[in-house]
Structure 1
Amino acid sequence: MSHHLKAIDREEHLAFVTARPSVSHMQVPSWGDVKPDWRAESLGWFSEDGTLVGAGLVLLRPLPKLKRYFAYLPEGPVIDWASGDLGEWLEPMLAHLRRRGAFSVRMGPPVVTRRWSADALKAAIADPGARRLGDVEATVHEPGARDVADQLHRLGWRRTAAGEEDGFAVGQPRHVFQVPFSGRSLEEIQQGFNQQWRRNIKKAENAGVKVVQGTYEDLPVFYALYTETAERDRFIPRPLPYFQRMWTALRAEHPDRMRLYLAHHDGEVLAAATMLTVGQHVWYSYGASTGRKREVQPNNAIQWRMMSDAHELGAAVYDFRGITDTLDEGNHLLGLLRFKAGSGGEAVEYLGEWDLPLNKVLHKAFHLYMSRR
């Protein structure tokens, strides 16, 4: 029997999220405040006895001049994905979104499919025959992921094309890098670092690098380094008001939802990073650094401070977020993958994002419009 679904208020949504050990930072009520171009709504799934058993933050992007919407649930919804019948969860959601005027729905099931250990990843990077992460045998295949994918296909959902250029920033990384913290002391976590990481942390300490928490007033300092990083690493930076909005919205919901860290050396800020926390899941969200004084290793210093603080907060996992799935030496992102792999964690593949066009003509027209903006 299908669950009953209806819109819920922020307080009810937040209470549901707070009671769970791990929920994406994009599935908390305050995330809707970070996205002013989208209309946010909290959805709740209820059992027959009226118990709230699932929740989701849906972002609605309007089609120009029409009261029709592209509906997006980033890294959500938060439901029982191991259910033997996903239709009883998803069909009520689709019916609700149709009534809201949605012409297309995209979601990102928080379902892990495969994991590669740091050793397996290191061997894969060194293997000239391995072009992509998927070419390498995974250390762990998560049970149940295939069944979820099969159910979604039967219900009409289709995986968003890999590398698809939609022209708007909704896509979330399918591959991430995570360091498990659960049941491990801080010393055990550091012992898992490779020799280069441990050496660089010591270099930063000996050089006098100091990592401190920043405030709202420090966001422009972070932003100056972020734009320098964007130019160096060839990506389009978000505007400063985006980060100011993140700070205000997320910290209003919980004071530790977002933190800013700055690495100082001789009166100069060499690196900065934002950290997000929901329950026992902590994310390294955005990082920035200058090309100057790299020899004092501010990036390793800032990561070690953030990981230490995350451990103190009771984190079960420290999430470095997205990694490239290419192992091509010519790819400029491979260096970032090597850096993250040095932390001794694991590469994690999620099920990816899935689309269900409710009106194929409007779905196609919207994506065409966004690609030409």
Structure 2
Amino acid sequence: MDSISDCTVSLSFATVRGTVAAAEADLFEAASGWDDFVGTHPSGHVLQLEGWARLKQRVGWQVHQAVLAGADGTLQAGALVLQQRRLGLSLGYVPGGPVVDWSCPADVDGIRTALLQCARTHGMHVVKIEPDLPDMPTHRRQLARLGFRPSGQTVQPRSTIKVELAGSDADLLGRMKSKWRYNVRRARRAGTQVRVGGSADLERWHALMQATGRRQGFAPHAPSYFEAAFELLPDHLELLLADVEGETVAAVVLALCGGSAWYLWGASSNRHRHAMPNYALHFAAMQRARAAGAGTYDLWGIPDSLGAVATAMRGAQGQGDWPDSLPVDLARLPQRDLWTVYRMKQGFGGRIERRVGAWDLPVDELAWRGYAVAVNLQDQVQRALSEARHHLRSTLERGRPRESQPFGSCSDVADPVAWNQSIIGCRLSGWQQSWQAGEAARQVGWSVRRWMLGLESDHPDHAVQVLLRRLDPSIPVSVAEVRDGPCLDWNGLAEVAGVLELLEHLLTGEDCVGVRISPLVPTNSAVGMSALSYLEANGWRPVAHGRQGVSTWKSPLGKDNALLPDSGTGTLAPAADVAAQAGLAVVTSACVNARHAQFLKDSVWGPGDRARSEAALDVLTTMDSSRSGSNCDHPEARLFVVENRHHDPVMAVVAVRLGCRASVQRVVHAVQGANVEPCLLAGRSILAWARRRDCVEVDWGSTLLNAGGSEANGTAPIAEGLGAARLPMAGTWQKWLWQGKWANQVPLPIVERIWPAP
């Protein structure tokens, strides 16, 4: 250990705060040279890199930095501190840090002072640290002396397995268990190819993560999270993919920082498991980590009880033991959580290591005591819920209705153009069945299935896009929504019945307990009334306040008698004149500037408004406007913004076109109780745009551009000015698929609270 005089430095404290924003200019910036410091420091960790802090900033954390520098400005120690409100308190969190020489008392005392100053500056009640520090009595005493308290809430896995990477490939294989060596070689003989992926492979990675989440009962991050991770940490993350017979069947993400490497994320499908792709991936990850200069490969996470046993067996040495030395019968380990992955990780030739875990530094003693009590209660509740969920999982698996056999054909569709053409070809099609709408839903956590269904095995001709979401990450069941669909010809109820029955069968195979549909069927006809009668007679029930309203407003746009209001006649002319006198004008574009995007996000008047605006923005920003046009079947989206004379937005409308039908997907107003004039002005522009695109109608939705949607708020003059008529619709219908099997286990009111109406 260095003497105190050798490591005494002057204290320099700095904090940098970033704001949550997608724009690169607004992202957090660490102190100059920070990543180099982390990469060369013995206690450096990938979770302390600037890119990781930026990633967490994008998902809602605030980021600050505490720095300890010498008299010459050289970094001596530091920490990136994430901040969020939890349990009613403002909490700071230092993942994988602080980065400090724990053998130097002056540095350790200095970083503690810096953390306290950072916490007080930004109003934190508690700062939680999770240093990459071995679990030894001397380290625990050191933390206690500094005023840290053992935390009841751990974020990162406390115990892990680390593989030494020294030596040749033969040395790596020699340290593995014999079965693991055999499986690595078997993967090579089976033709498993491991390659480094790029941005073009992220879609494959997303699909594998979804499959893994369904299989293991957890909800993976949204695709945008992983895309941001690779964008923000390009020099520290590698995507490795395993291909078998040209198909990508497994992948891992390798994290690199200084002399260490981590198995950060992994995903796989159920296909070609005989080719041992996961064994090939981990061996390749070790090879690449060693080539990059890493000395260890951290397999990131095993059950902490095993880590505690291994640490106890090694005494005060601080180094864990080999997995084979533990008095554990692998055959008797639980078949869930980290116990499952331990079976695979324990054979790669690494040692079990345990860290000191999470420690809290109270800033407000009274607040910390309340926090500690809340964490303890939360832990007890979570343990009880875990046992209940495990029991529910077993009950559902025993009661799952797998006895029915397929009675039709189903094929997956992976081509966006082919899918949209299928939807456009259906007479009763809607935007929410388009490929673009499905991808927007995927960004907010839904899984997407696109099926062509048919009652004759060789002729699938009914396109159905299904959105799936788990009720809870720990419960292996999901719910489904078919928005604006399914696209069926409701004139033939016999075929409708067959397709819906096939859809229900497919969804039970996806562990789905309930489904909602929103068929675009007008109910002012005999066909519509027959459809409602059929649904009610076959176990479907209407959903109050569903995604599809029970009525909509439409303006027909036939080529011979298009209802484009003339600026010189009709009710629209006075409204346009009034709008012009008020200095109102419409700005329309396929692109979204930052000012209009912020207006869409900030105009929030009810639950879910921000999420709906962000989904609409996602559609606008991802649409390929270069392929849209009046003679093209490619979908199109446009933003119409009404501005005042100061160029401030007062209203925004997102309109889309799918084939020859246009519809309004999002309407926001600067103030509640919108005036008629902006609505008519925006509506006229949308009608003109739709007419230029050879559309036959514009579907305004249930509120007709008016946030209130009532006669008192001006619906009547808007309808008259836009030539719109109200049309009664079927609305949203719901059916529980496993009701007879599991309704007695989980009361439906509870599930309905988990799966509320949209």
TM-score normalized by the length of structure 1: 0.80
SS of match in other structure, 1:105: strand
Counterpart AA for 2:280: A
SS of match in other structure, 1:344: coil
Q: Distance in 1 between matches of 2:115 and 2:37?
A: 18
- Residue 358 (structure 1) aligned to one of 351, 359, 363: 363
Q: Distance in 2 between matches of 1:222 and 1:110?
A: 29
Paired position in structure 1 for 2:157: 173
Partner deviation per Cα, 1:38-97 (whole Å, 9 max, x = no partner) = 122232102345432112111122479x9x832111010101212346434312321232
Paired position in structure 1 for 2:353: 348
Counterpart AA for 1:150: R
Partner deviation per Cα, 1:218-268 (whole Å, 9 max, x = no partner) = 1121121112212222233221111111010011xx2xx111111111121
- Residue 81 (structure 2) aligned to one of 48, 51, 58: 58
Q: Distance in 2 between matches of 1:111 and 1:280?
A: 15
The correspondence of residues 27-106 of structure 1 with structure 2, limited to 5 A, is 27-35=48-56, 36=58, 37-48=60-71, 50-62=73-85, 69-84=90-105, 86-106=108-128
Partner deviation per Cα, 1:273-302 (whole Å, 9 max, x = no partner) = 111111111111101111222111010011
CA contact (8 A) 1:5 1:93 kept: no
Q: Distance in 2 between matches of 1:334 and 1:69?
A: 33
CA contact (8 A) 1:21 1:281 kept: no
The correspondence of residues 103-118 of structure 1 with structure 2, limited to 5 A, is 103-113=125-135
Paired position in structure 2 for 1:200: 183
Counterpart AA for 2:213: A
Matched, 1:190 2:173: yes
Paired position in structure 2 for 1:117: none
The Cα of 1:360 is off from its aligned counterpart by: 5.0
CA contact (8 A) 1:22 1:281 kept: no
What stretches of structure 1 of length at least 5 have no aligned partner?
A: 114-144, 165-169
Counterpart AA for 1:265: V
Change in CA separation of 1:297 and 1:260 when aligned onto 2, cut-off 3 Å: same
Paired position in structure 1 for 2:748: none
The correspondence of residues 251-290 of structure 1 with structure 2, limited to 5 A, is 251=234, 254=235, 257-290=236-269
Structure with more relative contact order (C-alpha pairs < 8 Å, separation 6 or more): 1
CA contact (8 A) 1:29 1:42 kept: no
Change in CA separation of 1:22 and 1:181 when aligned onto 2, cut-off 3 Å: farther
Matched, 1:6 2:10: no
Q: Distance in 2 between matches of 1:222 and 1:21?
A: 32
SS of match in other structure, 1:348: strand
Paired position in structure 2 for 1:302: 281
- Residue 160 (structure 1) aligned to one of 151, 162, 174: 151
SS of match in other structure, 1:40: strand
Partner deviation per Cα, 1:120-174 (whole Å, 9 max, x = no partner) = xxxxxxxxxxxxxxxxxxxxxxxxx32221132233321122xx4xxxxx70111
Q: Distance in 2 between matches of 1:366 and 1:215?
A: 44
Change in CA separation of 1:218 and 1:90 when aligned onto 2, cut-off 3 Å: same
CA contact (8 A) 2:242 2:277 kept: yes
Partner deviation per Cα, 1:290-316 (whole Å, 9 max, x = no partner) = 122211101001111111111111211
Q: Percent identity?
A: 29
The Cα of 1:106 is off from its aligned counterpart by: 0.5
Partner deviation per Cα, 1:330-371 (whole Å, 9 max, x = no partner) = 2423332121111111111001011123235655479969x7
Q: Distance in 2 between matches of 1:16 and 1:313?
A: 17
SS of match in other structure, 1:41: strand
SS of match in other structure, 1:243: helix
Change in CA separation of 1:308 and 1:22 when aligned onto 2, cut-off 3 Å: farther
Change in CA separation of 1:355 and 1:249 when aligned onto 2, cut-off 3 Å: same
The Cα of 1:271 is off from its aligned counterpart by: 0.5
SS of match in other structure, 1:79: coil
Paired position in structure 2 for 1:127: none
SS of match in other structure, 1:11: coil
Q: Distance in 1 between matches of 2:143 and 2:290?
A: 36
Paired position in structure 1 for 2:333: 329
CA contact (8 A) 1:276 1:284 kept: yes
The correspondence of residues 177-256 of structure 1 with structure 2, limited to 5 A, is 177-182=161-166, 184-251=167-234, 254=235
Q: Distance in 2 between matches of 1:49 and 1:314?
A: 30
Change in CA separation of 1:89 and 1:10 when aligned onto 2, cut-off 3 Å: closer
Change in CA separation of 1:360 and 1:21 when aligned onto 2, cut-off 3 Å: closer
- Residue 319 (structure 1) aligned to one of 298, 303, 308: 298
Report the aligned-residue RMSD: 2.7
Counterpart AA for 2:38: V
Q: Distance in 2 between matches of 1:186 and 1:41?
A: 42
Change in CA separation of 1:366 and 1:237 when aligned onto 2, cut-off 3 Å: farther
Larger mean Cα displacement after TM superposition, 358-367 or 227-236: 358-367
Larger mean Cα displacement after TM superposition, 86-95 or 225-234: 86-95
CA contact (8 A) 1:186 1:311 kept: no
Q: Distance in 1 between matches of 2:207 and 2:372?
A: 34
Change in CA separation of 1:293 and 1:26 when aligned onto 2, cut-off 3 Å: same
- Residue 141 (structure 2) aligned to one of 150, 162, 165: 150
Counterpart AA for 1:329: L
Matched, 1:15 2:36: yes
Q: Distance in 2 between matches of 1:149 and 1:62?
A: 27
Change in CA separation of 1:29 and 1:291 when aligned onto 2, cut-off 3 Å: same
SS of match in other structure, 1:102: coil
SS of match in other structure, 1:54: strand
Change in CA separation of 1:48 and 1:367 when aligned onto 2, cut-off 3 Å: farther
Counterpart AA for 2:70: S
Q: Distance in 2 between matches of 1:221 and 1:259?
A: 15
Q: Distance in 2 between matches of 1:55 and 1:186?
A: 36
